[in-house]
Chains A and B, each alone.
Chain A
Amino acid sequence: MRDVVIIGAGPAGLSAAIACREWDLSVLIIDEFPKPGGRLLGQLHQEPDGEWWNGIKEAGKLLNHATELGADIRCGVSAHHIEKADNGFKVHTDAGVFDAEQLLIATGAAESAAPIPGWTLPGVMSIGAAQVMTNVHRVRVGERGIVVGVNVLSAAIARELDLAGTELHSMVLPAKNPVTKHYGDPGEVMDGLARIAHMAPSRILRFGSILARAGWVRRLAVRLYPKRGVKVWGIPVHIRKAALKINGRDRVESVTVCNIDPAGKPIEGSERTIPVDFVCIAGGLYPLAELAAVAGCPFRYIEELGGHVPVHNERMETPIDGLYVAGNITGIESAKVAAAQGRLAGLSIVRHRAKDKAGLGQRIDEAMRHVTAIREQATIQFHPEVDKGRSKMENIFKEYRKAT
């Protein structure tokens, strides 16, 4: 029996492990990816001061710290079930069953699909797949590609592909269908673009971002959007063009793209076939929470947090005694927020074990304030109203506690 098992060796899991080891709890971290670091691996962006923030390096720092403190980290281990036992949890994995007094689930996020016809062909991949292939495995995903789906994440990764010398023809929206009704809507996408405008200076985007709160301005920006697209980091970004289908026999050969009206409706006769050998689909992220579900944790649907989220409080505790969550499983935010949440979860775990050891309460308060501060400093938000989502969850937790 270990004091703590942590599922997920990303920024949240590793930071939690460090906090637990500082207080001498025995810690096992498992992760199904062959390398530790989670989705920190592959992230690469320029900070406002111009410095590059390299996720591989950040993961290395956390890993070294956790290893020095004696955390047991096992990669390539896949958990498929969690059982609540009398004095803790049984974590069922393909490498055996691990017993834990307390359990932290830090499994991050998964990508939502934006299906368009032909998306099962080899050469079509999620945008995150391209990021990992490029920055972690250092293999080019193709000669020339197109990104379907324009959002904060896909714009950042498109820049990374460009940086690695992979040619992108353009970024376009997915054709509207019941699944893509939001990602395929030029107005909604313009809102999202406006939020990264400060990072990718462009007149029309700034125009959109400063005044986008007024609906008419946004509509105007969508109507006036240049036919040739707006270059963001050198890549033409189109919100008035959509990918109708991906063509090819055994692999991607081309994409059929058309012009769309401001409501996202295809304009007949404007179809064009663009030869490419890869396509990246970007449908956004949602919290990957299936293990919390099988562990019996209650859920709520909170759009601002990215979907169904396990009920938890601001100390990362769930209503199940001894079960904690941290990182993107609690809502889609940056890796820095995930790391801050991980440290907080670790301290909460320590307090559960050590009861009222001197100073712990104060440290938890500090860690909570740190999470908020990091969130406020974030240069981009996956959802503009993440704060609202967080306070909704806080109230839900309180109500849930009252009701049970």
Chain B
Amino acid sequence: MRNRRIEEHPVLGSLRNRKAVSFTFDGKTCEGREGDTIASALLAHGIRQLRVHEESGRPRGIYCNIGHCFECRVTVDGKAGVRACMTEIREGMAVESGKVLPSPLNSSVFEADEMPRTYAEFAGKQKGDNKKEAPDA
């Protein structure tokens, strides 16, 4: 693949040797430049997909690139919901892509109409159906 770095720019000039910074994405080591965001460092490697939609599993990458849309959220050193476009890479940083999450309230699993709509309904169901005390609030 062609180098995606814009090393020379007719107006903005040359990218002077910015220091290399290495980090991992889903366990694989990647190298970026000092000042790169996670999103820009990954795109420089041709990596566009940063997560999948938590329910449908459809692939997603950056959309707005300035922190508004949260489409690029990844897990960084164990912290979830971090925007790849707003976070600069650091040496040794461990980045994990977003995965599909269980959707227990999906109406294909439960009939939406049968779900309790209030806490009182929920507590009533617990008592009536399961003969269990509602937990003390």
Contacts and interface: CB of A to CB of B under 8 A. Distances in A.
Count chain B CB atoms within 10 A of each CB in A52, A124, A130, A134 and give the residue with the most: A124
B9 interface: yes
Interface size class of A (residues with CB under 8 A): 35 or more
B44 to A, nearest CB: 5
Interface string B24-41: 000000000001110110
B63 A140 contact: no
A251 B15 CA distance: 29
Contacts, number: 100
A123 B15 contact: no
A121 B59 contact: yes
Contacts of B44: 139
Interface in B55-74: 58-68
Contact of A33 (B7, B12, B39, B86): B86
Given A33-B86, A34-B86, A139-B44, A123 B9 contact: no
19 contacts: A33-B66, A33-B86, A34-B37, A39-B66, A54-B11, A110-B64, A111-B64, A120-B53, A122-B60, A128-B65, A132-B66, A133-B39, A133-B62, A134-B6, A135-B12, A137-B35, A140-B4, A140-B5, A141-B43
B18 to A, nearest CB: 9
Given A138-B6, A139-B4, A132 B11 contact: no
B97 to A, nearest CB: 11
A164 interface: yes
A251 B40 contact: no
Nearest to B67: A32
Interface of A: 32-35, 39, 44, 52, 54, 56, 76, 78, 110-111, 120-126, 128-130, 132-135, 137-141, 143, 163-165, 250-251, 288
Nearest to B3: A140
A137 B4 contact: no
A133 B36 CA distance: 10
Contact of B40 (A44, A121, A139, A288): A139
Given A34-B86, A137-B40, A44 B11 contact: yes
A164 B3 CA distance: 13
A125 B86 contact: no
A130 B64 CA distance: 8
A121 B5 CA distance: 22
B10 interface: yes
Question: B39, B68, B88 — which one has the most chain A CB atoms within 10 A of its CB?
Answer: B68
B13 to A, nearest CB: 10
A396 B122 CA distance: 49
Nearest to B52: A250
A47 to B, nearest CB: 12
Contacts of A126: 63-65
A114 to B, nearest CB: 12
B109 to A, nearest CB: 24
The 7 tightest CB contacts between A and B, nearest first, are A122-B61, A129-B65, A137-B40, A122-B48, A138-B6, A140-B4, A122-B49
A274 B35 CA distance: 35
Contact of B6 (A124, A125, A140, A250): A140
Given A54-B12, A137-B37, A165 B60 contact: no
